[in-house]
A = this chain, B = another copy of it.
Amino acid sequence: MSSPKLKVAIAGLGRMGSRHALHFHTMTPRAELIAVSSPDAKELAWATRNLEGVRTYLDYDQMLREEKELQAVVIASATVVHAEQAIKAIKRGLHVLCEKPLSTNPEVTVVTAYRAAKTTYSKQKVICGFSRRFDASYRDAHQKMRSGLIGRPAVFRSQTCDKLDPSGFFVQYAQFSGGIFVDCSIHDIDLALWFFGEDSIVKSVSAIGITAVSPELRKHNDRDNALGIVEFYGGKIAQLYCSRMMAAGQEDSTEITGTEGKLAVNTQPMSNLVNIYESSGIRREIPPHYYGRFREAFITEANEFTACCLDDTEPPFRLEGAVAAVKIGCALQESLITGKKIEFDEIGRRVDSGAENETALLTARL
């Protein structure tokens, strides 16, 4: 007799959804993928071919209704429906692993729903899929920081930089992504909160940006390269860079400088351990895409999420952090467009008038 497995469904079978599906189907021994949903018939056809024994649904709500034995949902659909789908699953008492960002709007309602549901479903787990939290290198760096290796962390630098995609994909994508700071830097912001402490309170954000290769992004109030600086109360500062223009591949690196040392993650990116010596010099390749860099982390995420649901243990991080990350990401995106510095008081409320600011944002859009 074998142990019971966690019965899991995936919502969304796009780029990341299909990967999550495969991870839960074959690389997560304690989970059983029982259903997937996607509004795209082609994606469901892929599922039929590749996910043996898994039921398919065109409609997410129908899946929730009909899969009576379902215990957990992984939400990997379009960013704009993350919050809505997560809330529906939460209300049904399911465990939820929601892809980042939780929302493209700083008024994140998922936490409220989760708190409400907790009174009924005391063992329910809801986490946001910040894949880097499961990456072996980031974990090693974090553990070293906690052990005191760099003294008190004070300065954080991080970048999420995608390989140039000349197909125009990113322009399409920008329509619904929430903008480059919400889509890309959300990872870096989450890392800043992780390394500086989940309870860090943002004090100010400022951002600037350009459209060096995709001027069409401006019509969606987005940029292809942007820089941000973030102050936290308590003497901590962060520097962010996000880009859609890297030539060599995905370049996601992070540095945490403390009073006694520094930890650097992936400041020398590489695909593997091969170096190529040729007449032009010595060369190494780097992963072309996010998944190439973080595949192992996604598999760890699937397994650890499964374990904490089955064993009723604490998830590796709390949902509140994901909300704070969305708030900072949205503020950076706003600063990027309006050119204004945005400030917060010590209990996290914006210091400037929201109204004024909205006007500035609207003007910028015109």
Instruction: Evaluate contact between A154 and B236: CB separation under 8 angstroms.
Output: no
**Is A366's beta carbon under 8 Å from chain B?**
no
| Interface 1/0 per residue, A280-309 and B, CB below 8 Å | 111111100000000000000000000000
By a CB distance below 8 angstroms, the chain B residues around A27 are 27, 29
Query: With contacts A141-B274, A282-B285 known, what are 12 further pairs, Cβ within 8 A?
Result: A137-B274, A140-B274, A144-B276, A149-B278, A150-B278, A247-B261, A247-B262, A247-B278, A248-B277, A248-B281, A261-B276, A262-B276
Nearest chain B CB to A49 CB, angstrom units: 14
Instruction: Evaluate contact between A154 and B225: CB separation under 8 angstroms.
Output: yes
Q: How many copies does the complex hold?
A: 4
**Is A186's beta carbon under 8 Å from chain B?**
no
Counting chain B CB atoms within 10 Å of each CB, the highest count among A207, A262, A286 belongs to A262
A212: contacting residue among B152, B248, B278, B282, CB under 8 A: B152
**Is A110's beta carbon under 8 Å from chain B?**
no
Nearest chain B CB to A111 CB, angstrom units: 28
By a CB distance below 8 angstroms, the chain B residues around A114 are none
A278: contacting residue among B208, B261, B278, B279, CB under 8 A: B261
CA distance in complex: A282, B241 (Å): 19
Instruction: Evaluate contact between A281 and B277: CB separation under 8 angstroms.
Output: no
Instruction: Evaluate contact between B237 and A227: CB separation under 8 angstroms.
Output: yes
Nearest chain B CB to A327 CB, angstrom units: 18
**Is A269's beta carbon under 8 Å from chain B?**
yes
Q: Could you name 22 residue pairs across A and B whose Cβ atoms are closer than 8 Å?
A: A137-B272, A137-B274, A140-B272, A141-B274, A144-B276, A155-B243, A157-B241, A208-B229, A213-B259, A227-B229, A227-B239, A228-B229, A239-B239, A245-B257, A246-B257, A247-B279, A248-B277, A261-B278, A263-B274, A268-B275, A281-B286, A283-B283
Instruction: Evaluate contact between B243 and A229: CB separation under 8 angstroms.
Output: no
A341: contacting residue among B247, B285, B341, CB under 8 A: B341
| Interface 1/0 per residue, A216-233 and B, CB below 8 Å | 000000000101110100
Instruction: Evaluate contact between A283 and B285: CB separation under 8 angstroms.
Output: no
A279: contacting residue among B52, B248, B270, CB under 8 A: B248
Given A247-B278, A278-B247: A339 touches B204 (CB 8 Å cut-off)? yes
**Is A355's beta carbon under 8 Å from chain B?**
no
A261: contacting residue among B2, B207, B277, CB under 8 A: B277
Instruction: Evaluate contact between B275 and A267: CB separation under 8 angstroms.
Output: yes
**Is A17's beta carbon under 8 Å from chain B?**
no
**Is A26's beta carbon under 8 Å from chain B?**
yes
> A-side interface residues toward B, CB under 8 Å?
1-3, 25-27, 29, 52-53, 136-137, 140-141, 144, 149-150, 152, 154-155, 157, 204, 206-213, 225, 227-229, 231, 235-239, 241, 243, 245-249, 251, 257, 259-286, 339-341
A231: contacting residue among B208, B257, B273, B274, CB under 8 A: B208
Given A206-B229, A243-B155: A263 touches B237 (CB 8 Å cut-off)? no
CA distance in complex: A211, B234 (Å): 11
By a CB distance below 8 angstroms, the chain B residues around A278 are 149-150, 247-248, 260-261
Given A241-B155, A246-B262: A280 touches B283 (CB 8 Å cut-off)? yes
Instruction: Evaluate contact between A210 and B227: CB separation under 8 angstroms.
Output: no
Nearest chain B CB to A243 CB, angstrom units: 7
By a CB distance below 8 angstroms, the chain B residues around A257 are 225, 243, 245-246
Instruction: Evaluate contact between B237 and A225: CB separation under 8 angstroms.
Output: yes
By a CB distance below 8 angstroms, the chain B residues around A213 are 259
